[in-house]
Structure 1
Amino acid sequence: MTCPYLAYRDESDDRCFDEPRAYCTAADRFVQPMRADICNDRYDLAHDRHCEIFLEHAGTDGDATDRRTENATDGSETGGDE
């Protein structure tokens, strides 16, 4: 599954890129390749659990905070094997 806020763009204003670059429509900016790994749910990462940008924009702020708190207080490490 891919983050609904992820887009790939091959240009920005008056610049053209050789390869499309990851762009976060929620944050309205280009993101680093490692951030795009989270957006693309690679390496056991999940955008709906590990991305603070997605969590801020998904539902209400309270819902996003609850998810982050739940992950942090359940005794498991975020990003670890389940």
Structure 2
Amino acid sequence: MTCPYLAYREESAEMQFAEPRAYCTAAERFVQPMRADVCNDRYDLAHDRHCEIFLEHADANEIETDPGTDTDSDSGAGAENAADDDRTTGGDE
């Protein structure tokens, strides 16, 4: 999956390009082709693990969108469902 912050632009405020260039909307700047390789998850790289720009913005967005979200109620339901699954499939084997 490609980074959601990656865009390709054919122009900037001052100039037009013959080929589209990688632009990071999170950093609001054009990025080097090697950085775009990370954005495109090439060469066993993953933007969500290897790009500090993505990680900074993902952390910031998580804090802004989920301030004080209670995660304990979700984890309890998952554990109960897992126990139910074990009981229903355990007798077939």
Match status 1:5 vs 2:5? yes
* CA shift for structure 1 position 56: 0.2
Q: 1:14 to 1:55 in 2, by over 3 A?
A: same
| Bigger fraction of residues in strand | 1
Which blocks of at least 5 consecutive residues in structure 1 are unaligned?
64-82
CA RMSD in angstroms comes to: 1.9
Higher relative contact order (CA 8 A, sep 6+): 1
TM-score (norm 1): 0.71
1:44-71 alpha-carbon deviations (Å, 9 max, x no partner): 00000000000000034898xxxxxxxx
* Structure 2 unpaired stretches of 5+: 64-93
Comparing both structures, which one devotes a greater share of its residues to helix? 2
Name the larger-Rg structure.
2
- Percent of aligned pairs with the same amino acid: 79
Return the TM-score normalized by structure 2. 0.63
Q: Which runs of 4+ in 1 moved over 6 A?
A: none
